[in-house]
Amino acid sequence: MSEENKNPVTEKIESAKGGHFYKEIMKDFRIKESLHGCLNCGTCVANCPAAAFYDYSPREVCQMIIEGDEETIEEYMKGKIWNCAQCYSCKYRCPKENSAADIVMAMREIAVREGLAAEALAGYTRIAKLVLTRGNQLAPDMLSPDAFPDWGPRMIELSSKKMEMREELFEGFPGMNVVDRAWAAEDYTIYEMQKIWEESGALEKVGTVFPFLVDIVQDDMEDKKDEMEAKIQEKKEKLEASKK
Amino acid sequence: MKTVLVIGGGVTGLKAASELAGMGYNVSLVEKEDYLGGQVAKHKYYKLAPDLRLAGDVLDPVIKAVESNPNIKVQKHSQIIAVSGGAPEFKAKIKNSKGESEETFGAIVVATGFGHFDPTVKQEYGYGRFKDVVTNAEVEEMLNPNGPTKGELKRPSDGNIPKKIAIFQCVGSRDRQVGNPYCCRVGCVVSTKQAIEIKEKYPDSEVYVYYMDMRMFGRGWEELYGKAMEDYEVIFTRGRGAEVTLKNQQLSLRAEETIMDRPIQHSVDMIILAAGMSAGEGTIDAAKVLGIKQNDYGFLSPKDDFLSPNESSKPGIFIAGADKGPMDIENCIVEGAAVAAKVAGSLKN
C-alpha cells in the first residue's frame, strides 16, 4: 500500500512495539511481577483516588504497556503517570494481581533518567529546593491562602499572623518558631545529607529534572564547607579515640 | 452382586445411584445432611435457567427414582470416616448418629459437590457488614414461595422491597486475590435469570448487572440474556463492582464504566453478589479420607481430563459432578449417568 492510501485512523503501525522506552520499562524487574494480562474489569479505576479527580487511569497504564506503543509511552512518561498518588489500591484489588502503581514507579524512574520528567515536575521546584537546602519538604510560607480560596476569610486572617502565632506556640523550642521551613534542621545535618546526595549520585539525578538546583546546592555546600569539614574531622578523631 | 458406594446425595449422586440400581447393582447412598438434593435443596433454588422451570420439577423426580428403588439403601446424616482396601474390595467405615459401621463395596462414586463461595473475605463488598448486601443463593431462598420471605424479595435491613438492585458478577471467581482464578460457569446465567425474575415480579424495580464478560455458552443462555435486555430492560454495565460503602443509610457502589472510560458511583437499595463455586467441604473431606488427587483449588482431579473424566487418581474410585469443578445442574445429571456407566463397566471386568 502506498503512503497516500493509508488510512490514518484505522492503520495500526506494526513496528510501534519494542521501542527504546518500551525496552527500558520491560527490563525493570517490577514489570513481570506487576502485569499478568488485564481483564479490563475496571476495579482499579473504581478504587483509584487519582482517577476520580485527574486524567489518569491505572487500567489505561496496564493496557498501554501491553500494547507497547512507543509514542504513547513517551507521552505517558511526560504527563499522566505523574498523576498517580502511589497509594497501591490498584494492587490490592486487582483480580489479576496487577500493580499499576509499581509500573508507574518504574516508569517514573526511567522518565527521570531519560530526561522526560522536567515539565511534569516543574511545579515541584520549590519543594525540591527546600528539601535540598533545608531538609524540609514544606514550609508554612509556601501555603499561601491565595492558592487555596476554599480556605475562606478566616484562614487569610490567621495566615497574616502566622509568624507571631508560631513564636508563641513554640516558645522555648528553638528551630520551630520559623515560617520559611517547617522546622530548622542543624547546618551540620543538612550538610551531611547533601554530601550523601552528592556521593550517591542522587544530586546528579535531580539535575536531570532541575538543573539549576544542582548549582544552588553546591553553592550552599561550598559556603559551609570549611566549618563543616572541620566538624567532620573532629567527629572522626573522637571516634578513633573512643576505639582506643 | 457387588455393592456400589455413592458419596453425596445431590443431583449427581442421586442420578448415579438410580442409574446403577437400574442396571441391577446394589447401591448404598451416603449423605451427610438429613435431606437429599444437595445445594439445590439446601438453598431452595426456585427456578432454573434458561427455561425458568421450577427446580423441584427436576429435583423431585431424581429423588423419587432413588427413594422408590429397593436396590438403593439411603443413609442420611451419615459420613464416611475411613476407607481401606482397594479395587475391587473397599472397606468403608460409615459414621452416623447410631454409631459406626463397616461395609464392603466394589466401587466408590464420589459426588460430593461444591460449596457457595463465602464473600465475607471480599471485605470491600461489605457482605456481613451491610445487611442489604446479599448473595445469589440467599436471593434464591427469598424468591422461593417456600422460603423465609414467602417468595418476596425483601431488604434484610427493613423488610422493604428494594427499588434499585445491583448485581455484582464474578464474586470469588476469576479473582487471583482470593485464589480462585477460574470461572464459576453459572454466575452469568443465574444473575440474568434472577434479574428477569425480579423484573417480572416487580416491574417498577431497576436491576443493574455489573459484569466483565457475559459468558452465555449454555443451551438457551444467550437467548435469555437477550430477553433480559429487550423484554425486561435489565441494565448491563461493563465494569466489575469494586467497592460498597454506606452513605446516609444507603448503599453506594463504585465501579468503572469501562466502555465509557469513567469511574462511577451508584446508589442502590440492595446488592446481590453472584458468589461463585468453590470446592465443597464434603469434597475436601472425601479427598482426604480416600486419598485422591485434588487440583489447585481443592476440586477433584480426573485421571485424564479428556480420556477418563470420571476416574479418580485411584482405581475403583470414581468422581462426578461439581466436585470436579463448577458445573450446572443439567451437566451434573449427565455426569451422574456417565459415571454409572463407567462403574458398571469396571465391575464387570
Report residue A178 as a C-alpha cell. 520559623
Chain A contact for B305 (CB, 8 A cutoff) = no
A1 band by pLDDT with thresholds 50, 70 and 90: very low
Cα separation of B33 and B79, whole Å? Answer: 9
All domains in chain A, ordered by first residue: 14-116 (1.10.1060.10), 124-135+185-244 (no CATH), 144-184 (no CATH)
Q: Is B298 helix (H, G, I), strand (E, B) or coil?
A: coil
Q: Using an 8 Å Cβ cutoff, are B343 and B4 in contact? A: yes
A70-87 burial by CB neighbour count: b if 16+ within 10 A, else e? bebbbebbebbbbbbeee
pLDDT tens digits, B26-54: 999 999 999 999 999 999 999 999 999 99
Counting Cβ atoms within 10 Å, is residue A103 exposed (0-12), middle (13-18) or buried (19+)? buried
Percent of chain A with pLDDT over 70: 94
Query: Do residue A46 and residue B255 have CB atoms under 8 angstroms apart?
Result: yes
- How would residue A141 be classed by pLDDT, with cut points 50, 70 and 90? confident
Q: Give me the pLDDT at residue A11, please.
A: 65
pLDDT > 70: percent of chain B: 99
Q: Which residue has the higher pLDDT, B18 or A5?
A: B18
For the stretch B118-140, pLDDT in tens is 999 999 999 999 999 999 999 99
Contact B174 A52 (CB under 8 A): no
Instruction: Quote the pLDDT of residue A29.
Output: 94
Can you spell out the DSSP letters for B139-161? HHHHHSTTSTTTT----TTT-PP
ipTM for the predicted complex comes to 0.89
Task: Give A9's pLDDT tier (boundaries 50, 70, 90).
Answer: low
Report the distance separating Cα B270 and Cα B82, nearest Å.
Answer: 45
User: pLDDT for B262-318, tens place per residue?
Assistant: 999 999 999 999 999 999 999 999 999 999 999 999 999 999 999 999 999 999 999
Q: Is B121 on the interface with A (CB under 8 A)?
A: no
With beta carbons under 8 A apart, name residues in chain B contacting A48: 263
Three-state SS string across A25-53, please?
A: HHHCHHHHHHCCCCCCCCHHHHHCHHHHH
Is B170 in contact with A95 (Cβ distance < 8 A)? yes
CB B162, CB B205: distance < 8 Å: yes
- C-alpha cell of B2? 457387588
Ramachandran angles phi, psi of B256, nearest 5°:
-110, 130
**pLDDT of res. A157:** 86
pTM: 0.88
Domains and CATH numbers, chain B: 3-115+278-348 (3.50.50.60), 118-275 (3.50.50.60)
The nearest CA of chain B is from the CA of A23 a distance in Å of 28
The b/e string for B216-231 (b: 16+ C-beta within 10 A; e otherwise) is bebeebbebbebbeee
Residues of chain B positioned with their CB less than 8 A from the CB of A44: 256
Contacts of B125 in chain A (CB under 8 A): none
Q: Does B264 touch chain A (CB under 8 A)?
A: yes
Residue B57, φ and ψ in degrees, nearest 5: -55, -30
Provide the pLDDT for residue A10: 66
* CB-based burial, A130-139: b 16+ in 10 Å, e otherwise: bbbbbbbeeb
Chain A residues whose CB is inside 8 A of the B180 CB are none
Q: A134-143, B157-166, B181-190, B321-330: lowest mean pLDDT where?
A: A134-143
